[in-house]
Structure 1
Amino acid sequence: MVDSITEEILNASLAGVVKQMQEALFRTGFSTIIRESHDASCAILTAGGDVAAQHIVLPLHLGVFPVSIKAVLERYSSDNIREGDAFLVNHPYIGGSPHAPDMCVIVPVFIKSELAYFTASIAHKSDIGGSVPGSCSGKATDIYSEGIHFPPIRFVRNREISPEIEALIRANSRSADLVMGDIRGQLGCGWLGSDRIVELVEKYGKDTIDRAISQRVANVERIIRKEIEQWSDGSASGDRLLDDDGVRIGHPIRIVVTVKKDGDQIVFDFSDSDDQAIGPANIRPSLVKAACAYVVISSLGKEITVNQGVLNAIEIITRPGSLLEPELPAPMNTYNPTVHAVINSGFDALGQLTEMVQRADGSDSRSLIFGFPKKRDEVRPSISYEIFAGGSGASSSNPGLTGCHVNQTNGRITPIEILETEYPLRITEFSVLKNSGGRGLFSGGDAFRRVYQSLEDGIRLSIRSSRHQIPPRGVSGAQDGKPGKATLYPDGEPKLLSSREVNIPLNRGESFALDTPSGGGCGNLSESSQGSTRVA
């Protein structure tokens, strides 16, 4: 037992270490997806693999870190892990990774020759092989099309990367220098975190830190359960539809959740969701749990430390062979729309049991991948990988925002200056689609348009998007948002594309335009004349 002041100091210190790791990773990133889009997260974990501290950038990774660490421990055991080792895992079915490009680098932390903690980072790689540049084929029908997969492997000994494993990674990547540069950045941030933890141990002692971590985890779980206890007992359901899985075009996918609440216990049951998809819309249970944890902590109305206690406070049920617990080798690289649907359906169900603020759906997230096959300045073929959102949904207290990520995604859009200086692209339009948000007492956030012009022949474009058919849902009598749209202009003539496309040729002078979805509105517009400011 430690006193509350010491607990708070150590909790803040560990969170500060993770933030230092995060900043180091972003600043040393080779690829734009790390240094510009910030598609990465860091964490400190106990020797048993529980999350002790995480700096929230991508809430989704909260559920992945413990699965990845425990996969390492299952394969190697703590007795076979040495100081100076580091481990790599990106296999969704073994290490819980969202998809293969999200590589988890794990560094053990030793105190007096004893394995005491882990530092870890998950960071998206620009290309790890597979059928298309960027390793994210929206048409994949198995994970073998999605790039090289590593079960937990020891790829570093004595702080030296295995040349054999580096050669293997390089042989399978279209942008090997970027990938290895980013992996080295992950190692660097992991070692930085390790050094900072050792300094904390020297100051406070390992036993004190361990007790503070255990106490904080227990307190977080207790606080959440205390809040849950105040919600209405019973069950409620919510659902969402996805446009399709990228392969069976025009066939929507349904996610259904029933939230069951009894006392301080809460269960999210997804058993009635659709069977696993042929295309890459599947996700693993580690992501489902992180998504449900996000729903719960967002519904508390108070700030809370994010650690293992959040995961311990909730339970999920998924059905083997379903979209949310697929069986090998079901693909999953375009997982993000599915996670958004899990979160939105969870908010719908939980909102029936609580007095939480109502919210409409936002635009979700999407990415564009440009592959450049020609060598430029004697550099191997390069990849541009962007992540961006659109309009966020309105709530019963505020309108939506334009160009704002929602739910589990907190990425940043790549600046035009970076795109135009590093790649043979010109951005000819980047504009807000004004008044496109769903109308209501509070309107949804507006969408935006971005238009790309190719300056070279032979570019290949892939799209990972969503809500081009089924728009973001409005609530309480408000309008839905506007669906997104992807348009190719070969020879100046428009050609409408689907939300998941692969290897679209883009030659010199040709253009591509992406209109993002806008956010749904909240509340009947007529209520504004009555002075209403909140929807019950």
Structure 2
Amino acid sequence: MKLKTIDEITTSTLNRVDYDPVTAEVVQMRLVNIVGEMATTLKRTSGSPILTEAQDFCTAIFDEENEHIAFSGYVITHIGSSVEGVKSIPNYYDMESIKPGDHFIVNDPHTAGALHQGDVAIISPLFYKDEFIGWSFSNAHIADIGGMSPGGWAPVARDVYSEALRFVPTRLVSEGKYNYELFNLIRSNVRLPETVVNDIKSLIAANNVSQRRVTELIDQIGLEEYRKYCKVNKALSEKQMCEKISKIPNGIFQTEDWVEYDGYGDNKLVRVSCTLTVKDSSLHFDFSDTDPQLDAFINAGSGVMLGIVNGLMMIGLAFDIPINAGILRPIEIELGEPGTVVNPTVPAPVSCGHMEGGLGAGRALWEGMVQALQRSEDPAIRERTAALSHYSWPGNSWVGLDKAGNYTAFAVLDCGSGGLGGQSIGDGLDISCHEVMLGNSIPDVEINEGLYPMLYLWRSLNYGSGGHGFNRGGQGIDIAWIPYGTEALSGTLENAMAEIPSRGVLGGYPGATNLYKVHRDANAQSYIESNNRMPKLAELGDEEILPNHATNIKLSENDVFRQLTGGGGGYGDPLFRGIHKVAKDVADGYITQETAKIVYGVLIDSLNEADIEGTEALRTKMLSDRIGKPVTYLEKNHTEFGLISQDNALKCACCQASLSTTEENWREKVETKEYPLADRLKSLNIEIQERKQADLFLEESYCPSCGVLIETAIRKNG
């Protein structure tokens, strides 16, 4: 007999609960609509392009167990910062002292799970007829939060105290009444006081919406039913997540990646390690074997790590599951002893930990997931294998005076627009954001030019930046602008991916990385006035590569600032990309005829037409040269790549040749070639910044039977 109610509803007790699936879906979608309305409130009440245009925010609702019951996916990483933020409130306040109409401000990564200090959250208790029922959470990147650099990043900070204002959970509104003394403190410590205060009030307004709408929902279905269906929906999401994980074979996968910046410009690589254990219906990610924290802004707090791991799992596995705490339950995260880059302690600086240490951890864990997913015998699980995007946010922010003498501070929000990675079903999307920020967008050129002292010369595709593959990575963005209406600007730069690109998968190649460049004394304004058009790149004169992490970068009104963002990684061996697709890529300018020949083995004539017979002969030769023996090129047989697990053996997905048992190291059984990373990618016409030390290599592994490229791996010397 089914029980009408049950205190703890989990996957194991769900079948004993008397619930209506239709009502469960209606309640879940009602909550989704509420967090959506909270997001709309943010956009409609804020005056900041960071919210209205870039949509760099998130909203969420929790139950009284401090668990998600709804989450809006604008910046997915905030699934970690939100749960850590909500859990931090009882650490500072007696729950008996919390009343309806209270609102708490939070932005400290160390104590409250924020991604960085620039991400300010308002957390508000939800009540129904004076009974506590949960929390609402709104978070946004605020234009400025004080400290040594504008925009919330501090590349030269040596401790957290140098970076920005920090708010442990602090009551900003008490029973509906503003704490004006605290607002005055904020105003006096930020560069854009009115914009910042207005955005904070927008966050409060969003949470007020959630209180009204949740009350309306409970009025309709009753408090007992509301609580029951929140638990039911979490259990349903958990059940679906466990079912997907159970289709991945058990195994242990050890991977690593590196942060490029050590805070001092010594070019030291900072290692982030991940061990993924797949066991039955759970995933365990262990980051314990990671380098110690540094006095540089690269350290990633707990909110970052929870957000990166769970955010990637939302996209990789839970893309069609309602987002609530249920999808988090089968995922375990071990950060190891305190004091590492992914588990820092005070006073470690953290203002860019989400983009530096955090995204390094994301790249490492996804490499492990790729290895795990491709071993599944379920085609629907295997096809979730995809290459990562440029997987970074190369932020740059600027301050100065306009010609009227007014102070200005702004961030260029185009910066996150790189290419997404190639997927099993097609090419990566051009000019997108990286995986855990897919709800972001970029402002129109006119918005930026109307608000800030800048004039665009161009904004276009960064042609040739996508990683090569059977399905290639998307292209990044190429923008150039000049200071306009001001004599000079001073900038802060942050670029976590200049020397180490995101990997390609299943034989695809990495994409290009991000670069900052400047053309000094280009006199573009004079050129525009004289020629009545924007100058082209060749007309700007010599270029200078700017540092990837720096403050006080000077731009005069005669200089041109140029930013290039990287492309997504490629998916599958490029020698098997459709010949006509390659010809179209050449015609569209995505790749050159030279690239078509040396990477894809496709011969293109002067009319951009493919030579089919010549191409098949060239591809056959290239495959044979890889392994030193004759092979046959059969395009129709090569649509799956990497490895498949079958009958306790790992086999080439293309030719079905057995390479090893599932217990053996298959890399010892294949043909392998190793190249210096920057040199190899340059030979493939992919642009990355070369390291001072030649300590990184691209390892290419080929099937010894058919010559297909199984894996391209980035390795560190030693």
Structure-2-length-normalised TM-score: 0.72
- Asked whether 1:305 is paired with 2:333, we answer no
Q: Which residue is 1:421 aligned to?
A: 450
**What is residue 518 of structure 2 aligned with on the other side?**
488
2:482 corresponds to 1:465: no
Aligned position for 1:517: 566
Is the Cα contact below 8 Å between 1:45 and 1:52 reproduced in 2? yes
AA partner of residue 519 (structure 1): G
Q: Report the equivalent of 2:331.
A: 314
Q: Deviations over 1:194-232 (max 9, x none)?
A: 111111111111111111011111222222122222321
Change (3 A) 1:274 1:105: same
Q: Is the 8 A contact 2:241 2:318 kept in 1?
A: no
Distance 2:396 2:48 in 1: 13
Q: Decide whether the 8 Å contact of 1:105 with 1:186 is kept in 2.
A: yes
Measure how far apart 1:362 and its partner are.
Answer: 1.6
Report the Cα distance in structure 2 between the residues aligned to 1:480 and 1:217, rounded to whole angstroms: 38
Cα displacement (A) at 1:258: 0.7
Match of 1:384 among 385, 388, 411: 411
Deviations 1:54-74 (A, max 9, x none): 111111111111211121122
Is 38-47 or 514-523 further displaced after alignment? Answer: 514-523
SS class of match (1:93): helix
Partner residue of 1:507 out of 522, 539, 556: 556
| Structure 1 residue 124, shift from structure 2 partner | 0.8
* 2:388/2:420 contact within 8 Å kept: yes
Aligned equivalents of 2:463, 2:145: Cα separation in 1: 38
Aligned to 2:398: 371
User: For residue 162 of structure 1, what is the aligned residue in structure 2?
Assistant: 179
The answer to whether the Cα contact below 8 Å between 1:245 and 1:277 also exists between their aligned partners in 2 is yes
* SS of residue in 2 equivalent to 1:296: helix
In structure 2, relative to structure 1, the CA distance for the partners of 1:228 and 1:477 (3 Å cut) is closer
Asked whether the equivalents of residues 318 and 327 of structure 2 are also in contact (C-alpha less than 8 Å), the reply is no
Q: How many aligned residue pairs are there? A: 536
Match of 2:508 among 472, 475, 478: 478
| Matched residue, 1:341 | 360
Identity of aligned residues (%): 26
Question: Counterpart in 2 of 1:325?
Answer: 343
Q: Which amino acid aligns with 1:82?
A: K
Highest CA radius of gyration, 1 or 2? 2
State the TM-score, normalized to the length of structure 1: 0.95
- 1:255 touches 1:272 (CA, 8 Å); kept in 2? yes
1:251–1:50 Cα change, 3 Å: same
Select the residue among 416, 435, 440 that pairs with 2:469.
440
Q: Which moved more, 1:359-368 or 1:105-114?
A: 359-368
2:72 aligned to 45, 52, 55, which one? 55
Which consecutive residues of structure 1, in runs of 5 or more, have no partner in the other structure?
none
Counterpart of 1:234 in structure 2 is 251
Aligned twin of 2:547: 498
Q: Which amino acid aligns with 1:343?
A: G
Cα distance in 1, alignment partners of residues 558 and 405 from structure 2: 23
Preserved CA contact (<8 Å) 1:397 1:533: no
- Contact 1:472/1:517, CA 8 A, preserved across alignment: no
SS of 1:478 mapped into structure 2: coil
Question: Mean Cα displacement is larger for which, 13-22 or 510-519?
Answer: 510-519
Aligned partners of 1:468 and 1:498 also within 8 Å: no
The letter for the 1-side match of 2:47 is: F
Cα distance in 2 for residues equivalent to 1:425 and 1:365: 24
Relative contact order, higher structure (CA 8 A, sep 6+): 1
1:478/1:524 contact within 8 Å kept: yes
Do 1:295 and 1:346's aligned partners in 2 also have CA atoms closer than 8 Å?
A: no
CA distance in 2, matches of 1:512, 1:246: 24
* Deviation (angstroms), 1:302: 5.3
Paired residue type of 2:97: N
Give the conservation status (yes or no) of the 8 Å contact 2:293–2:299: yes
Q: 1:439–1:307: structure 2 CA closer, same or farther, 3 Å change rule?
A: same
* Per-residue deviation, 1:160: 2.6
Give the CA RMSD over aligned residues.
1.9
Paired residues of 2:399 and 2:407 also in contact (CA < 8 A): no
1:376 shift after superposition: 7.3
Matched, 1:353 2:372: yes
Q: Distance in 2 between matches of 1:32 and 1:377?
A: 22
Given the alignment, which residue of 284, 306, 311 partners 1:267?
Answer: 284
Verify the 8 A CA contact 2:370 2:386 in the aligned structure 1. no
Within 1, Cα distance between the matches of 2:231 and 2:313? 21
Quickly say closer, same or farther: Cα 1:329–1:208, change in 2 above 3 A. Answer: same
For residues 422 and 282 of structure 2, the distance between their equivalents in structure 1, rounded to whole angstroms, comes to 29
